[in-house]
Amino acid sequence: MASNRGVVYLGPGKVEVQSIEYPKFVDPRGKAIEHGVILKVVSTNICGSDQHMVRGRTTAPTGLVLGHEITGEVVEMGKDVEYLSKGDLVTVPFNVACGRCRTCREQQTGVCLNVNDARAGGAYGYVDMGGWVGGQAEYVMVPYADFNLIKFPDKARAMEKIRDLTMLSDILPTGFHGAVTAGVGVGSTVYVAGAGPVGLAAAASAQILGAAVVLVGDMNQERLKHAKSVGFEPIDLTKSDKLEELIEAVLGEPEVDASIDAVGFEARGHGSQAGTEAPATVLNALMTVTRASGGIGIPGLYVTEDPGSKDEAAQHGNLRMRLGLGWAKSHRFYTGQTPVLQYNRQLMQAILYDRLPIAKVVNATVIPLSEAAKGYKDFDAGVAKKFVLDPHGMLTG
């Protein structure tokens, strides 16, 4: 039998590359399926969402094979797969979606009704997302392949831009979704909370949507320096308790047209409160600085349970939000998992035709699968990099 290796969560702060089972055409319930494919993983990325689990901030079980950002080559197919062929290079949306339920038919593939017995929505290698095996591995099974997968039209051309195209599985469409749902358009002033990879992807998305200026806020000096180097206005949140003052110093006014939360539930206070856990601080700050009738896109992850939080309410997913402020300003809020299939084809075209150099924007850094544990450690320390795992050495030669 063919071998396989994957990144396995072993408990808070610990992951390890281990031998894992080679994929089978079986769903998490144990039911045989014929609509899937097995992929040889060409690239698979470490995501900030993975870090939440690895830090012990979720109810993720030990033994979970991680990884929901996957690009791969088809090596085996179920007999019900009609429109793909062996050898095809494909991008995999992180959403597991059936393509048949009401929400999938509405293009809301982030909340598919048929791939998770516990709740709406499925994902690979993620807590509470249906039990689908993750793709930080050498091989992975992808179900409902004809619906979920997008084939790159020119394999050789795609491999030339694979460091960019690997971002199509999650962070680029997630950042784009945040910008779209915030209402970013031509001439918009935009504030993005968080200078990590998703925040930078959101900032790049705002630019391609026509924003006049994009401000990116963080407390990590290395990430702020990188954000400036790729064309965004850095906002150093260590400088003041009042975000509106920092924005006014750049724009001449204390508000923006649209804002994006790329931080999520592990948010911390800034200024004099720097380092203090404050799960709702980003949302409250965005309501303060977003103009009346403006939009707030929230692609940052919020969880139903955060057992590692020091805040008792947040342990159960409750946040101390100033919702009255947002209501008074007629804000639009848009939350939830990104429905990747709404965006990744057009974003693929933007990459292939040199409109969106996302690998440069997020500082894509390729490492072998064997160095995954070090990649997790470095990413958790706040380096200004997006780690791309190369299980078969196809990105580095």
Least confident window among 30-44, 156-170, 196-210, 257-271: 257-271
Give 269's DSSP letter.
-
Q: Taking the mean position of all CA atoms in its chain, how far away is CA 212?
A: 25
Cα–Cα distance for residue pair 9/15, rounded to 1 Å:
5
- How far apart, in Å, do the first and last CA atoms of the chain sit? 27
Alpha-carbon dihedral angle through residues 51, 286, 385, 158, given to the nearest 10 degrees: 100
Q: What share of the chain is helix, strand, coil (3-state, %, to 5)?
A: 30, 25, 45
Q: Which residue has the tokens 């997913």?
A: 317
Cα–Cα distance for residue pair 374/368, rounded to 1 Å:
10
Q: What is the pLDDT of residue 115?
A: 98
pLDDT tens, 260-310? 999 998 888 877 777 787 888 999 999 999 999 999 999 999 988 888 888
Cα–Cα distance for residue pair 142/1, rounded to 1 Å:
19
Nearest of 169, 68, 64 to residue 123 by alpha carbon: 68
Averaged over 26-48, what is the pLDDT? 97
| Range list for CATH 3.40.50.720 in the chain | 172-335
Predicted confidence (pLDDT) at residue 1 exceeds the cutoff of 60: no
Q: List the Cα angle 24/139/43 in 5-degree steps.
A: 150
Nearest of 187, 189, 183, 182 to residue 215 by alpha carbon: 189
By CB atoms closer than 10 A (0-12, 13-18, 19+), residue 320 is middle
Instruction: Name the β-bridge partners of 39.
Output: 74, 140
Nearest of 268, 286, 299 to residue 326 by alpha carbon: 286
> What is 5-170+339-390's CATH topology?
Quinone Oxidoreductase; Chain A, domain 1 (3.90.180)
Predicted confidence (pLDDT) at residue 211 exceeds the cutoff of 80: yes
Predicted confidence (pLDDT) at residue 372 exceeds the cutoff of 60: yes
Averaged over 10-33, what is the pLDDT? 97
Predicted confidence (pLDDT) at residue 315 exceeds the cutoff of 90: no
Cα–Cα distance for residue pair 366/386, rounded to 1 Å:
8
Q: Which residue has the tokens 């001439």?
A: 187
Averaged over 49-66, what is the pLDDT? 94
Residue, of 305 and 11, whose pLDDT is higher? 11
Q: Which residue has the tokens 């990325």?
A: 45
Residues ≥6 apart with Cβ < 8 Å to 27: 33, 132, 143
Cα–Cα distance for residue pair 194/215, rounded to 1 Å:
10
Cα–Cα distance for residue pair 37/141, rounded to 1 Å:
6
Say whether 199 sits in a helix, a strand or coil: helix
Q: List the Cα angle 381/387/390 in 5-degree steps.
A: 140
Cα–Cα distance for residue pair 13/56, rounded to 1 Å:
7
Q: What is the pLDDT of residue 101?
A: 98
Nearest of 257, 274, 166 to residue 215 by alpha carbon: 257
Predicted confidence (pLDDT) at residue 347 exceeds the cutoff of 90: yes
| Range list for CATH 3.90.180.10 in the chain | 5-170+339-390
Q: Taking the mean position of all CA atoms in its chain, how far away is CA 55?
A: 17
Averaged over 345-355, what is the pLDDT? 97
Task: For the chain, give the mean pLDDT.
Answer: 96
Averaged over 210-224, what is the pLDDT? 98
Residues ≥6 apart with Cβ < 8 Å to 371: none
CATH superfamily placement of domain 172-335: NAD(P)-binding Rossmann-like Domain (3.40.50.720)
Cα–Cα distance for residue pair 64/53, rounded to 1 Å:
10
pLDDT tens, 128-158? 999 999 999 999 999 999 999 999 999 999 9
